[in-house]
Structure 1
Amino acid sequence: MESEQNDKAEVTPAERWIAISISILFVSFFLILMGLISPFRIVFLLCVGWTSFILRTLSRLTISPSLTLMFLSSLLLFAVGFHFYCRRIKGKVTAESAGVTSWQKRWSFSLVTMFLLLAVSGICVISVTHQLFWMATTQDRIFIRLHMGGAGEAARRSTSKNNLKQIGLAMHNYHESARRFPMGGTFDKTGQPQHSWITQLLPYLDHKSLYDQIDFNQSWTAADNREPFETNFILLQSPGMPYDFTEEEGDAAGYKPAHYAANSRVLSANSGMDLRKIKDGSSNTILAGEVRSGIKAWGDPTNFRDPTEGINRSPRGFGSKFKGGTHVLLSDGMVRFVSEDIDPSVLKALSTPNGGEPVGEF
C-alpha cells in the first residue's frame, strides 16, 4: 500500500515540463496584461531573442589559457579521485556480497557531470536573482516607461550608463596603479599619434589578452596592429548607434568605433591628470561622455573633445541619441545625465578641473 502511494506521488518529467510551461505562460500573460510587453515580443524572446544576446556577448569574452588549463586539470583530478574512491567503497561491498558488479567508470562520469551541472545551475540562479533584484530597484525604471517605446529607450539608456560606469571603474583602477589617469592620447616626438586612452585601459576592462596583442613600438594604424583594433568592443558602443564605420568614412572603415570620448581638459595629448590636481572636485569635473557625431575609432589617440562645445549642439562636443541630453562620467566615477539645455557657464564649470567656477545644480 505504501509503495503504491509513493508511485502515485512521484512527479514525472512530463508533469514537470507542463508545470514549467504553465509558469512561463502565466508570467507572459501577466506582462501582456500590464502592457509591459507585446505578445509578438514575448514569442520572439522565447524563440530567438536569446541568440542576439549571446552574439553580442561573445565578442566581450576573453579566455585565459592558464586559468582554463588549471580548471580542466582540477576537474580531471577530482574525477579520477572520485572514481577511485567510489570503486574502493564499492569494492568493500562487493567483497561481502557475491555477484555484485564493480564500480563502473561511466557511473563516475555521470555523477561528476551532475555535480558540475548543479554548480553551474546554482551560479545561474544567483545571477538571475541578482538581475531581478536590480530590475526591481533600479532608478531607470525600465518597465515603467511604456509610451512611444519608452521601455526600449530606458533600457538603452541604462546600458550606456552602465558602459560609462565600467569605464569609470577602469579609469580609477588605472589611476590607483599609475597615480594618474591615462593620457588622452600618446604622441611621439614628431607629433605622430600612437595610442589612445582606451588602449591604455584594456587590462582594466578585462581585455588583457587584447592589450598583449598590440605592438606599442608602432602606431595604432600600423599594419601589425590592424587586427587588434578591428576587434568589436561592445562596452564602447552605445545602443542605437552604428557598430561599424561606413565606407564613406575612408580610413576608419574596418576599425570599430567608440561612442564615448574623454574630456580634453582632463585627458589630452601626452597628458593624464592626477586626481589630486582636480581642485574643483572630482564630483564636479567631467572625465568622459557620450558622443553622437564625429565618431572616432576606439584606438584613435585623438578621441578626446571639449565639453564646452555644448550638448547635442556641435559635432566636436558631447551628445547622444537619447532625448534631452547625454550621459557624462564624472571624475569620481559617478554617471550623470546632463540636459542639452544646461547653462553654458555651468557646463564650462563642469568641464574645467581647476577653473574655480561654482557648479551648482545640473
Structure 2
Amino acid sequence: MDIKMRKGFTLIELLVVIAIIAILIALLLPAVQQAREAARRSQCKNNLKQLALALHNYHDGHGTFPPGVVSDPNVLDDRGHWAWSALILPFIEQAGLYGKLQPGTIQVAQHFDTAAGQELMQTSLAAFRCPSDTGPKLHGNAGNNTEDSAGSLFEMPVSNYIASNSVSATRATIGNETGYARGMFAVNSKVRMRDITDGTSNTIMLGERCWELENPMWAANLYAVRGNGGSGAPEPSDGNQGIAHAVGGTGTLINTDTGFATPTTSATNKFRRMAYHSLHVGGAQFALADGSVHFISENIDHGSGEATNGTLKRLVAIADGDVIGEF
C-alpha cells in the first residue's frame, strides 16, 4: 500500500516562524517610531524657523519686534488682549485672516459677539502647532478662555510656541533689574535689534510649551490672552499670569513635570505653567534672535532665582552682559 506524504509545516516550525516575526516587529517598531518622531521634530523646527523669520520681517517693517501682549486700558481684563502671534499673521501668509481680525482696531471681545467672529478667533494654524503634541485644537479650559462683551467665556486655539519674557515668572515690563522682564517680549514692549546687546545668536526669542504636560492648563494661546480677573488690562498686580499664555519664563527647568496637579497659587505651579516644555525626548526646541533654531537639553545649566546665573537664564536675558559658553 502506497503512502503519500503531504508537504506542510509542523506545529513547531509554525511557532518558530511566528516567534521570528514577533522578534522582527519588536526590533523594527522602535525604529519606525523614532523615524516618525524625527520627522515631527523636524517639522517643529521648521515651524519655529518660519515664526522667527516672520518676527524679523515684522521688525523690518515696524522698526521693533512686536509686543508680547498688547495691553489696552479700555479693555476689561478678561475680555482678551491681542498677542504677538496675531500681529505677525501677515508675515506667515495669513494676511487674509489678519485683515479680518484687525488686531489693534477691533477688540478681541467684539469678535466673540458674533458667530463669524468666533469662527475667526478659533481658527487653528498648523504653523503654531508642534506635530509631537497631540492635544486638541481648542483649549477647553476656562483658564485660557477669553470673554465676549457680555462676559461669556469662549475657547481659544492652542499654540505650542511662546515668546521669551523672563528669567523667572513672567513679568509685564522689560528691565535689567530683579522683578522685570529681561527677555525680548513683554506687555506693550518694543524691543529693537540693537537692544539685544548680548548678541542675537546668544538670545532666545521663542520656545516650546506643550499642551499635554500642562494637563491642560496654561499651554499657549493663539492670537490673544485673557487677564486674571481684575478690573483692567493685564498688570503686575495680577501676578502677570495672564500674559503667560503668550510669553514664558525660566522659573523651572525645561520639561519639568513635578508638583502639578491642578492650578494653584503655589510658587512651584506658578513657575511651571509659565515655563518651557515639549513632548520631544530630552529637551525642547528654541528659536534664537538670529533666526536659528536649536534643541536645548533639559539638563542645561539652569541657575536659580531671578539672577542670570545659569546658561538658560543668560540665553533669555537680552542685555545682562554675561558670557555664554556652549549649550
Q: Please give the range of the TM-score, normalised by the shorter of the 2 chains.
A: 0.5 to 0.7
Q: Which residue identity does 2:222 align to in structure 1?
A: W
**Any idea what SS the aligned residue of 1:235 has?**
helix
Contact 2:142 2:155 in 1 (8 A): no
Q: Which residue identity does 1:274 align to in structure 2?
A: R
Match of 1:210 in 2: 97
| Residues 291-327 of structure 1 deviation map (CA, whole Å, 9 limit, x = unaligned) | 0232132012421011353211222111100000000
Match of 1:258 in 2: 159
Contact 1:145 1:151 in 2 (8 A): no
Shift of residue 359, structure 1, vs aligned partner? 0.9
Shift of residue 149, structure 1, vs aligned partner? 1.3
| Residues 114-146 of structure 1 deviation map (CA, whole Å, 9 limit, x = unaligned) | xxxxxxxxxxxxxxxxxxxxxxxxxxxxxx996
- Whole-Å separation in 1 of the counterparts to 2:294 and 2:144: 33
**Any idea what SS the aligned residue of 1:171 has?**
helix
| Residues 146-176 of structure 1 deviation map (CA, whole Å, 9 limit, x = unaligned) | 6371101101100100000000110111111
Aligned with 1:316 (options 246, 271, 274): 274
Q: 1:243 and 2:161 equivalent?
A: no
Cα distance 1:246–1:181, how it changes in 2: closer, same or farther (>3 A)?
closer
Match of 1:172 in 2: 56
What are the ranges of 5 or more consecutive residues in structure 2 without an aligned counterpart? 1-23, 146-153, 166-182, 226-242, 257-271, 303-309
The two structures, once aligned, show a CA RMSD in angstroms of 2.4
- Whole-Å separation in 2 of the counterparts to 1:196 and 1:247: 19
Match of 2:220 in 1: 296
Cα distance 1:272–1:309, how it changes in 2: closer, same or farther (>3 A)?
farther
- Whole-Å separation in 1 of the counterparts to 2:137 and 2:95: 23
Contact 1:308 1:347 in 2 (8 A): no
Q: 1:355 and 2:320 equivalent?
A: yes
- Whole-Å separation in 2 of the counterparts to 1:234 and 1:296: 14
Radius of gyration: which is bigger? Answer: 1
Match of 1:20 in 2: none
Aligned with 2:83 (options 173, 193, 196): 196
TM score, norm. by length of structure 2: 0.63
Aligned with 1:305 (options 248, 251, 269): 248
Q: 1:185 and 2:78 equivalent?
A: no
Cα distance 1:151–1:200, how it changes in 2: closer, same or farther (>3 A)?
same
- Whole-Å separation in 2 of the counterparts to 1:155 and 1:275: 32
**Any idea what SS the aligned residue of 2:206 has?**
strand
Match of 1:156 in 2: 40
- Whole-Å separation in 2 of the counterparts to 1:349 and 1:342: 11
Contact 2:208 2:278 in 1 (8 A): yes
Match of 2:190 in 1: 272
Q: Which residue identity does 2:326 align to in structure 1?
A: E
**Any idea what SS the aligned residue of 1:329 has?**
strand
Contact 1:308 1:348 in 2 (8 A): no
Shift of residue 195, structure 1, vs aligned partner? 0.7
**Any idea what SS the aligned residue of 1:272 has?**
coil
**Any idea what SS the aligned residue of 1:267 has?**
coil
TM score, norm. by length of structure 1: 0.57
- Whole-Å separation in 1 of the counterparts to 2:88 and 2:285: 20
**Any idea what SS the aligned residue of 2:35 has?**
helix
- Whole-Å separation in 1 of the counterparts to 2:140 and 2:296: 32
Q: 1:219 and 2:103 equivalent?
A: no
- Whole-Å separation in 1 of the counterparts to 2:223 and 2:138: 13
Contact 2:208 2:284 in 1 (8 A): yes
| Residues 205-235 of structure 1 deviation map (CA, whole Å, 9 limit, x = unaligned) | 1000000101433332332542222112011
Q: Which residue identity does 1:300 align to in structure 2?
A: A
**Any idea what SS the aligned residue of 1:209 has?**
helix
Identity between Structure 1 and Structure 2 (%): 31
Q: Which residue identity does 1:255 align to in structure 2?
A: M
- Whole-Å separation in 1 of the counterparts to 2:83 and 2:29: 37
| Residues 339-358 of structure 1 deviation map (CA, whole Å, 9 limit, x = unaligned) | 00000100011010001111
- Point out which structure has higher relative CO (alpha carbons under 8 A, 6+ apart): 2
Cα distance 1:178–1:243, how it changes in 2: closer, same or farther (>3 A)?
same
Shift of residue 240, structure 1, vs aligned partner? 2.7
Match of 2:123 in 1: 231
